[in-house]
Structure 1
Amino acid sequence: MSPPVFNGEQYHMWAIKMKAFLRGQGLWQYVEENRQPTQLRQNPTLNQIRIFEEEAAKAPRALSCIHATVIDLVFTRIMACETAKEAWDKLREEFMGSDITKNMQVLNLRREFEMLRMQESKKVKEYVDRLMSVVNKFRLLGMEMTERRLVEKILLSLPKGFESKISSLEDSKDMSQITLTELVHALQAQEQRTLLRQEDTSEDAMMATHKGKSTQGNNRRACKQYGHIEKVCKNKGIQPPQQAQVGKIKCKVKRLNNSLSPLAMQLILAMKLG
């Protein structure tokens, strides 16, 4: 595996990767402790000479690994260092800052961690991702955050909608033993059930509204009088007086069996209506 390259940014990430790489190569102790090989005894054997030479080559090889994993601009900062430990400490001081700066960063992160709360409109995953982002910054600064502390933080910062789920978990599980993964999965399951119930309620409301409008539309058939509705119209089925009178006159005229001329019939009808 090729070692990680440091370009002057995200030193904390590079330091963690580089430390793992040096350990895999058996070289980290020469960076951390500036370890030196033990001196040969008098009249050493060939095997002792071979082991000594292999150990003696590890310290310069550790320094060479650090040189190979930084860009030229960063290399100029450590080019005068003669040991791997000296080069490592120089990079840490240059890019991570002093202990005072580190303590200020830790204080700010601790304040941000304590103030985090999950909003009603946010999802569980979004909140946990934001929380873990702060925790990872803690860890990059060498500070540890236990899983138990994370579980407590999540339980205390959830909105009221999760109170029933928390009570259920307390009844069914030992909360001092629950893992972060188990808690997140349980909260996401509760969140999904709540979302499905909300969708069902919305669909039922829409169907009820649509049904009400359809029924109202069917019952609002207009009668023959202006502005009247057939359902509530008191005159429903009753013809206007003038229309009924015209009908009676027409019947009487019809019974004359065409004994009068059309002109006479029109005159009679006009006189009755007048």
Structure 2
Amino acid sequence: MSDEKTLTKIPHFDGHYDHWSELMENLLKAKGLWSMIERGFVDPLDNTLLNDHQRELLEESRVKDHQVKHYMFQAIDRIVFEQIMDRSTSKIVWDALKKKYGGNAKVKRSLCNTLRREFEVLDMKKGRLLMSTSQEY
């Protein structure tokens, strides 16, 4: 079976950006698409005159950018997808995910606090549920 026929397992983004980004970077490098994240893709102005070779290169770049976006959109859930305002290029999507979920301690602390609050709310709901069921008996 050829490489193009095998199914690619796309790493699912579960909120742990550092782990996901390493896996995704490896996938994109293996597919020859990492340059779309490193250099990005810029569509030329509408009035730009291109020769045939330049048009072919432009179309190749567009297809590669769409492939990378496809992989990333498959990796994220609907809620994360909706938080990315500008989805025009794969680099913009990558940078948005990196800014929101990656790297710095302030972001990680904020995510931790959010998860802690969600847990506390769930715990309170569970406590109310237990109280209401015990009162029924």
TM-score band (shorter)?
Answer: 0.5 to 0.7
Letter in structure 2 aligned against 1:29: S
Whether 1:4 aligns to 2:17 is no
Q: Indicate conservation of the 8 Å contact 1:4/1:14, yes or no.
A: yes
Q: Indicate conservation of the 8 Å contact 2:41/2:89, yes or no.
A: no
Whether 1:65 aligns to 2:71 is yes
Whether 1:96 aligns to 2:102 is yes
Whether 1:76 aligns to 2:82 is yes
Give aligned-pair identity as a percent: 27
1:14 Cα shift? Answer: 0.6
For 1:53 and 1:40, how far apart are their aligned partners in 2? Answer: 14
Letter in structure 2 aligned against 1:5: H
1:61 Cα shift? Answer: 2.2
Aligned to 2:41: 35
Unpaired runs of 5+ residues, structure 2, are 1-7, 108-137
Q: Tell me the TM-score normalized by structure 2.
A: 0.57
Of 32, 36, 42, the match for 1:26: 32
Q: Indicate conservation of the 8 Å contact 1:5/1:69, yes or no.
A: yes
For 1:78 and 1:88, how far apart are their aligned partners in 2? Answer: 10
Letter in structure 1 aligned against 2:11: P
Letter in structure 1 aligned against 2:14: N
Superposition pairs of residues 1-274 of structure 1, within 5 angstroms: 1-8=8-15, 10-36=16-42, 41-42=50-51, 44=52, 50-98=56-104, 101=106
Return structure 1 stretches of 4+ with deviation > 2 angstroms: 35-42, 48-56
The secondary structure found in structure 1 opposite 2:12 is: coil
Q: Indicate conservation of the 8 Å contact 2:36/2:68, yes or no.
A: yes
Classify 1:40/1:69 alpha carbon distance in 2 versus 1 (closer, same or farther; 3 Å).
Answer: farther
Q: Indicate conservation of the 8 Å contact 2:36/2:65, yes or no.
A: yes
Unpaired runs of 5+ residues, structure 1, are 103-274
1:35 Cα shift? Answer: 3.4
Aligned Cα RMSD in Å? 2.9
Q: Indicate conservation of the 8 Å contact 1:30/1:58, yes or no.
A: yes
**Larger RCO (alpha carbons 8 Å, 6+ apart):** 2
For 1:70 and 1:95, how far apart are their aligned partners in 2? Answer: 12
Q: Indicate conservation of the 8 Å contact 1:67/1:75, yes or no.
A: yes
For 1:90 and 1:49, how far apart are their aligned partners in 2? Answer: 29
Task: Find the structure with the greater CA-based Rg.
Answer: 1
